[in-house]
Structure 1
């Protein structure tokens, strides 16, 4: 007890989240822009509560299990260090979990891509009291959420409580999260909107980035800056849905074709690789894998493609980046080729994709996000025009490039 360290939660957490921190109702829902502290505050709150309630365990959910390691798992380890209690915690990657050493409580990590791992959870010590859904917007099927919600049940000791926390960016107003938690007042629900303006830990360069976004892309600023719902009117693609298909079974079909495309990113925009299987006869397109990462250098793009196992595939890349294509080829991606594009290539590519039934595997969360937010642009009078917005299109551009060889060989 002589080694006690005192920390100030006010200084560590900052302002803007008092209601969130203290709320003990069933649902705690936070939509917010980037830099709004929603995920870091949820991580700090989880660690603090676990140490306050010695019989409580926490389940952390993401749509895809592999996404935990670089997000929620890393955020919770950061929170432990930030609270200066790392000597009281143990973390492991196999299994992926955090353990509070004085009591044996655990923070468990699961993905909705393995439903059985979510619905069959048992804990060694105490009770499963809390669940945290990070990037909840990626959960397109409300029933997937309900299954986990129903697993947080049972009688608890006095002063303990069950709670589901959801944090997400509000990309699309048609999402079930809006209807369920924000459109009406509900008992036992705290629904909040936060943004970067409540984050006193941002640097001047962070604020400048939001200022630039406000001037150059007001639509994105409203969503990613202010945490407002994205407008879904004018959707370009209505011919897609999420489907948990087996890519290897699809690949057994007669005359199935693979399609790989690459769009280059910048500091904040992601480099994107689109990987799909195309059934020309039945006009079906199956998106089975994706790369979607900002800030990658060309050698890092090549390394990502290799690690994904696609180094020997024909990859059609953005022809505006000829030097990058040549450099990536020298890094071992020998079959990368520039897209031909041509006049009105964007419209032509969109029209070609619109002729397919498009199925997006649940693991391709960024592909689904773009398909749900890619809309026609508007003129000064607010009317739609025959031109898509230049946004939410990094994966879709990569997909368009990938389809060029398919389009040449087909008569669609």
Structure 2
């Protein structure tokens, strides 16, 4: 009989062995590593198993995972029966179970491991994806059920842990969703297929000093990205967001805000595609006084020829609503005009990508209806591309955002001028005596 006080958020996790994979992600000080180590000790006391504990660099194990097991063994008053051996690093149990420790920086040493039925990848985001797949191959036993536990602080959505366990190719046309991470943050624990997901933050660790949490809170002032990872325990975007002011809201709320605008300006823009790219047509409303752009309707399709597109957009032909399209597709614009659409090509001089991007960024808010899922998918986490030296390229992005191009074209004859711009223009006019 072992008595040990644990954090309530981890109670079910300690004894849940239903799934093959158990993925724990959380912020600093959430106690996820502590509870993983405790879970493994309890399992190996119950069943004779060989467990493998892995980090990317072997030298980091002694002061982290190995020290944690030693601390727990003493805390549980089991040091007389469970032995921690330092050379080679092993934890040996009285029933023949053992824990061995390896680093992925010495992969040749993994080849000598046999009958491993339980693997813990600590700080798994630091381990390479090829290493993760290699470890899956090392997980085998003729009788015992196999388990792999992965624990990590979240990094960015470009890491393999996100694409493997959450969303693969996010915001791309071949996107595959295993689990929306936002659902995990809401539910805290989720089971999908053969994977158990667990999310935790410092608030879940009842043994943590309040001063530690206060220090984490302070990071919100000077490092939002670190705050997201350390305090909130959430994945995020790698790189600089193009539209940090972008937000999505329920459709009814968006339309109510548009209705309240004094003299709203309506615009529609369209980007063209076919085989790989998408056709994207957006309806937008502008609150010129408050510099707010609203996106409230979208058309999004691919692999459609011009007659099919014209059929889809007959409501535009009926209303003669003005549309600005990509002038690089004059034949498509000509055909749509023949079919009754009031569409013309947008002005696209050299350097217009950068200038159009700057124009959109001048809006104080960009509010998108939740009835525009493709626009949200493309623009919410749109980031700038970087060159090989790590420098930001301000007219290239991490994806090909068709809806962003549609916004550009729709705003072709509109310029965002804020209060500062107006003052500067008035000042210049006075100085010139005009």
- Under a length normalisation based on structure 2, what TM-score does the superposition of the two structures give? 0.49
Which one of 157, 178, 183 corresponds to residue 173 of structure 1? 157
Question: 1:325 maps to which residue?
Answer: none
For the residues of structure 1 that align with 2:34 and 2:10, how far apart are their CA atoms? 11
Once the two structures are superposed, residues 192-244 of structure 1 have per-residue CA deviations (whole angstroms, 9 ceiling, x without a partner) of 22111100000122122122223443321111111101321339xxxxxxxxx
Tell me the residue number matched to 1:209: 215
1:311 maps to none
Name which of 214, 217, 228 aligns with 1:222: 228
Determine the C-alpha separation between the residues in 2 that align with 1:63 and 1:375. Answer: 29
Distance in 2, Cα, partners of 1:133 & 1:375: 33
Question: Is residue 2:110 matched to residue 1:104?
Answer: no
1:244-280 alpha-carbon deviations (Å, 9 max, x no partner): xxxxxxxxxxxxxxxxxxxxxxxxxxxxxxxxxxxxx
Q: Is contact 1:110-1:117 (8 Å) kept?
A: yes
Superposition map of 1:289-368 within 5 A: none
Structure 1, unmatched stretches of 5+, are 1-5, 236-352, 357-370, 378-412
For the pair 1:142 / 2:129, whether they are aligned, the reply is: yes
Quote the offset at 1:146 in angstroms. Answer: 0.8
- Displacement after TM superposition at 1:113 (Å): 1.1
| 8 Å contact kept, 1:196–1:225 | yes
- Residues 15 and 39 in structure 2, CA contact (< 8 A), matched pair in contact too: no
Aligned to 2:36: 42
Deviation per CA, 1:139-160: give whole Å up to 9, x if none. Answer: 1x3121111111112321xxx4
Contact 2:117 2:141 survives alignment (8 Å): no
Corresponding residue number in structure 1 for 2:332: none
1:117 aligns with 2:112: no
Say if 1:20 and 1:28, in contact at 8 Å, map to a contact too.
no
Change (3 A) 1:355 1:231: closer
CA offsets 1:107-139 (integer angstroms, 9 cap, x no match): 0001111112113203xxxx4210000010101
Counterparts in 2 of 1:376 and 1:204: CA distance versus 1, 3 Å: farther
Instruction: Compute the TM-score of the two structures, normalised by the length of structure 1.
Output: 0.51
Q: CA separation in 2, counterparts of 1:144 and 1:99?
A: 26
Supply the distance in 2 between the matched residues of 1:79 and 1:104 (Cα, whole angstroms): 19
2:52 is paired with a residue whose SS is strand
Work out the CA distance in 1 between the residues paired with 2:110 and 2:138.
Answer: 8
Instruction: Name the counterpart of 1:8.
Output: 3
SS in 2 for 1:86: coil
What is the rounded CA distance, in whole Å, between the counterparts of 2:227 and 2:76 in structure 1?
32
- Distance in 1 of aligned mates of 2:61 and 2:43: 20
Partner of 2:45: 51
CA-to-partner distance for each residue in 1:25-66, whole Å, 9 max, x for gaps?
11001111100111111111111111111x211100011111
CA distance in structure 1 between the aligned counterparts of 2:393 and 2:71, rounded to whole angstroms: 41
Give the corresponding residue for 1:153.
140
Match of 1:163 among 147, 162, 180: 147
Q: CA–CA distance in 1 between the matches of 2:166 and 2:21?
A: 12
- Which 5+ residue runs of structure 2 have no aligned equivalent? 168-177, 180-191, 242-385, 395-434
Native 8 Å contact 1:29 1:167 kept in 2: yes
Cα distance in 1, alignment partners of residues 129 and 10 from structure 2: 26
Equivalent residue for 1:234, pick from 237, 240, 252 = 240
Q: CA deviation at 1:182?
A: 2.2
Query: Is 1:130 aligned with 2:118?
Result: yes
Highest RCO, 1 vs 2 (Cα 8 Å, sep ≥ 6): 1
* Cα distance in 2 between the residues matched to 1:119 and 1:95: 16
Cα RMSD over matched residues? 2.5
Q: Is the 8 A contact 1:28 1:189 kept in 2?
A: yes
TM-superposition CA deviations, 1:272-307 (whole Å, max 9, x none):
xxxxxxxxxxxxxxxxxxxxxxxxxxxxxxxxxxxx
| CA distance in 2: counterparts of 1:203 and 1:52, whole angstroms | 33
